[in-house]
Structure 1
Amino acid sequence: MPSTRTKILAALAAAPLVIGLSACASGAGADGGDDVVRIGVVGKSDPQWPAFEEAAAEAGIEIELVDFADYAQPNPALTEGELDLNQFQHIVYLADYNVSADEDLTPIGSTQIYPLGLYSTKYESVDDIEEGETVAIPDDPSNLARALLVLQSAGLIELEDGGSIFSTVADIDEAKSKVKVTPLEASLTATSLPDVAAAVINNDFVEDAGLSFEDAIAKDDPTDPNALPYVNIFAARADDADDETYLKLVEIFQTDPEVQAGLDEASAGTGVSVEIPVADLEASLADVEDDTRAQG
């Protein structure tokens, strides 16, 4: 299956990321005592990962994928040295973690950007949702704000001052909104569908809930030039940002055809592969961290 590979130009990327490294670069694993690179993910069964393991092995790099059940775990595990890298989050999520935990995890490469979708088992369109119904959204701050923006774009709520990546449920103008909003842990929004009118569900949990990406009744636009903070990334500890083995793994992930085909399959063609210069990722992270601190 061909990849939907594309580059978001203008504000998203001035030039493709180019990494010229030896295929046989070697680095220490998280315990410092072996050459196995431990990578934290959410959704190890996704089809891109077997292809990535094989491509890495062909380049002389042994990796171990460590699967996590929810988004709250991979960053602390990376901070504590239980992992070498993780790949599950966008820049906004990483910024929120770094500020709240006073850490300095850093992006070392971009992967994809995914639209965030609204799903329902009761209604076939947003227009059918009745006044006063309840919609579930992820409760982690970064995805919560993005979910609120999706609901606003769909005409279900109105946010004071138009909303931002820092919007909370407190910013909902209830008098001008059609639905009520209930934040839930991200993995639970899908299972809440029988009890709510609709739910914003992160891509990692859509197919696990027996849904397809085409079932979304509303979603945001991943090609919006303002979407850079929502680009998914490989993250490392700051001291490891220039590790040649880790950067080689990013290059493999971005360029291997089978990995890209797996990504396309995993997102049913909804994910957009991007190669953003690391300097742009770092700058975006710094900006969002500064804004996050200002919000506090």
Structure 2
Amino acid sequence: MSDQSDQPVLPTRRRSRWPWIAAAAVIVVVAGVIVGVVANRDDEDATTAGGTKAETVRIGVADAESPYWKTYLDLAKQRLNVTVELINFSDYSQPNPALKQKQLDLNQFQHIQYLANYNVTAQDDLQPIGATAVYPLPLYSLKFKAPADIPANAKIAIPNDAINQARGLLVLQAAGLLTLKNGGSAFSSLTDVDTKKVEPVALDASQTAGALQSGSVAGAIVNNNYATSAKLPRDAAIFQDDPASDSAAPYVNIFTARAADKDNPTFLKLAELYHDPAVEKGVQEANGNVAVLRTVPAADLQALLKKVQDQAVAAGK
């Protein structure tokens, strides 16, 4: 939206009104012609050869600058007669509320585990309608080549949102940098750290890469899209979890819709379109070929979401 302000009223001179009226009439006619041409062009742009108006779908993402989205948008227009409008978000806390409030039609930025936590804490009922890929969650360092090289009490940045924080702590545990009470879980937090070699520091997920690059931390857990945006070198990823394992199923990224739209045929087709070979190729190019692409039926995703939500409730989230 744009702010509107009152336009200043300019003083007028006393002159004969007839020349101005005639000029105004000409301007109105010309303006009418221009508006008519623009309207016709807009109508032409918004229709196919068969005369069907294109549908516009707003999708919230966190990586709109990635080139593969251009391929996706072009295919959506050509094959589905859908104009996709990407709305980019810089932090993970915004796309789900925007979807709930109908500022978006879909979003594609999160995994099942994140959505489960959101639904439970926000008492919402957003639903997954299509899978995209599972990405490893790496530990990056610009100073050290292996987790064992990181000195005692060094600071390690981890995401502060509940789900990515739990996964980040599990990565640090697997890397031998700390231990979690009872082995940890997908709902572990900093209070569950039992022993530690390093000092985990919770930051917004969008800031962990910056903390690493500034030198304020020795290492950082950085989500894939933020690592790509920050241009972190792949060889700076000194450890990561295994995205192909069964335990990674809750971390499959998804297209998400409001519950009332989970069977919307256009939305389901847009989720399927992500797995067009040209789009998948672009996804891999944009992410250093680390994505494990997944196609999972919407009903299975929704059943998995229900299971993880039940776990979240049991964990007191």
TM > 0.5 fold call: yes
1:8-49 deviation digits (Å, cap 9, x = unpaired): xxxxxxxxxxxxxxxx9xxxxxxxxx8200000001011220
Query: What is the identity, as a one-letter code, of the residue corresponding to 1:295?
Result: A
Query: What is the identity, as a one-letter code, of the residue corresponding to 2:164?
Result: N
1:191 has 2:210 as partner: yes
Query: What is the identity, as a one-letter code, of the residue corresponding to 1:277?
Result: P
Report the Cα offset of residue 248 of structure 1: 0.9
Question: Which residue in 2 is equivalent to 1:166?
Answer: 187
- Residues 51-130 of structure 1 aligned to structure 2 (within 5 Å): 51-59=71-79, 60-130=81-151
Instruction: Name the count of aligned residue pairs.
Output: 262
1:154 has 2:175 as partner: yes
1:94-151 deviation digits (Å, cap 9, x = unpaired): 0111111111000000000000000111212111101111111000000000000100
Query: What is the identity, as a one-letter code, of the residue corresponding to 1:192?
Result: A
Question: Which residue in 1 is equivalent to 2:197?
Answer: 178
Distance 1:134 1:88 in 2: 27
Identity of aligned residues (%): 49
State the superposition RMSD in angstroms.
Answer: 1.4
Report which structure shows greater RCO (CA 8 Å, sep ≥6): 1
The residue matched to 2:128 in structure 1 has which SS?
strand
Distance 2:259 2:291 in 1: 27
The residue matched to 1:69 in structure 2 has which SS?
coil
The residue matched to 2:130 in structure 1 has which SS?
strand
Which residue, 238, 241, 244 being the options, matches 2:265?
244
Distance 1:212 1:204 in 2: 13
Question: Which residue in 1 is equivalent to 2:35?
Answer: none
Report the Cα offset of residue 215 of structure 1: 2.1
The residue matched to 2:209 in structure 1 has which SS?
coil
Query: Contact conserved, 2:142 with 2:236, CA < 8 A, in 1?
Result: no
Distance 1:243 1:46 in 2: 26
1:292 has 2:312 as partner: yes
The residue matched to 2:226 in structure 1 has which SS?
helix
Report the Cα offset of residue 83 of structure 1: 0.4
Question: Which residue in 2 is equivalent to 1:201?
Answer: 222
Query: Contact conserved, 2:128 with 2:302, CA < 8 A, in 1?
Result: yes
Question: Which residue in 2 is equivalent to 1:224?
Answer: 245
Query: Contact conserved, 1:213 with 1:267, CA < 8 A, in 2?
Result: no
Question: Which residue in 1 is equivalent to 2:281?
Answer: 261
Distance 1:153 1:287 in 2: 25
1:241-276 deviation digits (Å, cap 9, x = unpaired): 11111011111112x121111110111000111001
Query: Contact conserved, 1:117 with 1:202, CA < 8 A, in 2?
Result: yes
Runs of 4+ residues deviating >3 angstroms: none
Report the Cα offset of residue 214 of structure 1: 3.5
Question: Which residue in 1 is equivalent to 2:36?
Answer: none
Question: Which residue in 2 is equivalent to 1:282?
Answer: 302
1:36-89 deviation digits (Å, cap 9, x = unpaired): 000000010112200100110111111101111111111000000000000000
Query: Contact conserved, 2:59 with 2:105, CA < 8 A, in 1?
Result: yes
Stretches of structure 2 lacking an aligned partner (at least 5 in a row): 1-47, 49-53
TM-score normalized by structure 2?
A: 0.80
Query: What is the identity, as a one-letter code, of the residue corresponding to 1:181?
Result: P
1:36 has 2:88 as partner: no
Which residue, 214, 231, 234 being the options, matches 1:213?
234
Question: Which residue in 2 is equivalent to 1:11?
Answer: none
Distance 1:247 1:207 in 2: 28
Distance 1:48 1:93 in 2: 24
Report the Cα offset of residue 197 of structure 1: 1.2
Distance 1:225 1:196 in 2: 32
Query: Contact conserved, 2:209 with 2:222, CA < 8 A, in 1?
Result: yes
Distance 1:228 1:209 in 2: 27
